[in-house]
Amino acid sequence: MSTPATDIDPAAVARSFGAASRSYDAAAWLQTEVRNELLSRLDLLRAPPRAVLDLGAGTGLAALEIKRRFRRATVTAADIAAPMLQVARRRSRFWRPIRCVEADARALPFDDASFDLVFTSLMLQWLQPPDAALREIRRVLKPGGLLLASSFGPATLQELRQSWAAADTGVHVNEFVDMHDLGSALGRVGFVEPVLDVDRHLRYYPDARALMRELKALGARNLNAQRARGLTGRKAFARMNAAYESLRQAAGLPATWQVVYAVGWAADAPLSEGESPPSSTGISGEVRIDADSLRGSGRRR
């Protein structure tokens, strides 16, 4: 299977998150909230799944919860970062086993129609464009299978991005796919009437370095191909810091995290690359944005 062009190097993603495997859980306050929200949408399943894939599983907490909830299901945790899976394996128990597989989401080592459910929380934003991974997800899903996904939206870290823009012309913050583009991609690869909604989290930090330390602990480094390869100069950092300080509120420096949630049911047959969805499936390439039908919609923190 050919590897598509991307603005983010998958090997860099693997290295960054692998290096953060020990610090990740302690720093992952938002990832925990998003994971729990996505897990709550398991109620959308029409029947208990027999085979589940947690894609971009990280340290395996979602896979463990899914296995706890569906004890008879075979649960597979897949991630591109081997050190993350080492943590996940330590969470697996013989009475509640989790299969761990190192894998690139764009070329999954699983047979067609292998899973009833694919769960992927805050992984898709590291794949730009996401189409190749979504096509693989659709391939390994059984007809009628469910995809539950979350991803960061373009407003994520907008304050930090704005502050760096005042400092220099470099790319210092990752760019993320917006809700409409993600929904269109789901339709293109064969998901029926995907439903998406957006949540926004606002967190305050004592200073810019505290935010950057958290991002480093998460492995969420700037991995955009257009980023500067050398160290950022002191003057540029000082300009960025001054711009960020101008946004200070009583609670501290604000940082926005925009989260896109997506739900999609697999069509009767997956689409090959470049194939248009047939009208009989009801897939038009458009996305239905429903801010009220899914739990948590419209919530602001």
Output 234 or 205, whichever has higher pLDDT: 205
d(CA 261, CA 254): 22
Specify the pairing of strand 253-266 against strand 141-152.
antiparallel
Q: Give the HSE-up count for residue 168: Cα atoms under 13 Å, Cβ half-sphere.
A: 14
Asked whether residue 218 is assigned to any structural domain, the reply reads no
pLDDT score at 34: 96
Residue/partner pairs of 219-223 with CB below 8 Å, 24 or more apart: 219/16, 219/17, 219/18, 219/19, 219/20, 219/21, 219/24, 219/81, 220/16, 220/174, 221/16, 222/171, 222/172, 222/173, 222/174, 223/8, 223/9, 223/12, 223/13, 223/16, 223/126, 223/174
Which stretch of 13-27, 102-116, 145-159 has the lowest confidence by average pLDDT?
13-27
- Model confidence pLDDT, tens digit, residues 1-29: 333 334 666 776 777 777 766 777 777 78
Q: Is the pLDDT of residue 156 over 90?
A: yes
Decide: helix, strand or coil at residue 96.
strand
Q: How many CB atoms lie within 10 A of CB 48?
A: 14
Between these two residues, 289 and 183, which has the higher pLDDT value?
183
110 in any annotated domain: yes
Instruction: Please state the rounded mean pLDDT for residues 80-93.
Output: 90
pLDDT for residue 119 is more than 70: yes
Residue percentage of the chain with pLDDT more than 90: 60
CATH number for the domain that contains residue 148: 3.40.50.150
- In this predicted structure, the answer to whether residue 170 has a pLDDT above a threshold of 90 is no
Mean pLDDT calculated for residue range 58-73 = 95
Q: Residue 28 falls within a domain, yes or no?
A: yes
| 8 A C-beta contact, residue 226 and residue 169 | no
Domain contains 243: no
Residue with token string 């700037």: 222
Q: And the tokens for 222?
A: 């700037």
Kindly report the number of other CB atoms within 10 A of residue 274's CB atom: 6
Instruction: Note down the domain range covering 276.
Output: 10-154+175-202+258-289
> What separation in angstroms does the CA of 289 have from each of 138, 170, 261?
20, 33, 10
- CA distances (Å), origin 80, targets 58, 66, 84, 85, 238: 9, 20, 8, 9, 35
Average pLDDT over residues 158-182: 86
What is the pLDDT at residue 297? Answer: 37
Number of domains forming the structure of the chain: 1
Find all residues with CB under 8 Å of 220, minimum gap 6, and list them. 16, 174
User: Per the domain annotation, does 91 fall within a domain?
Assistant: yes
Q: State the average pLDDT for the chain.
A: 83
> Residue 27: its pLDDT value, please?
74
- State pLDDT tens for residues 254-300: 999 999 999 999 987 655 565 554 433 333 333 444 434 444 433 33
Residue 82 within any structural domain of the chain: yes
The pLDDT, as a whole number, for residue 2 is 36
Distance CA 249, CA 247 (A): 6
Residue 184 has pLDDT above 60, yes or no: yes
Mean pLDDT of the region 225-235: 58
Whether 81 maps to a domain, the answer reads: yes
What confidence score (pLDDT) does residue 74 get? 97
**Per-residue model confidence (pLDDT) at position 1:** 35
17 within a domain of the structure (yes/no): yes
Could you give the CA distance from residue 96 to residue 102 in angstroms, rounded to a whole number? 20
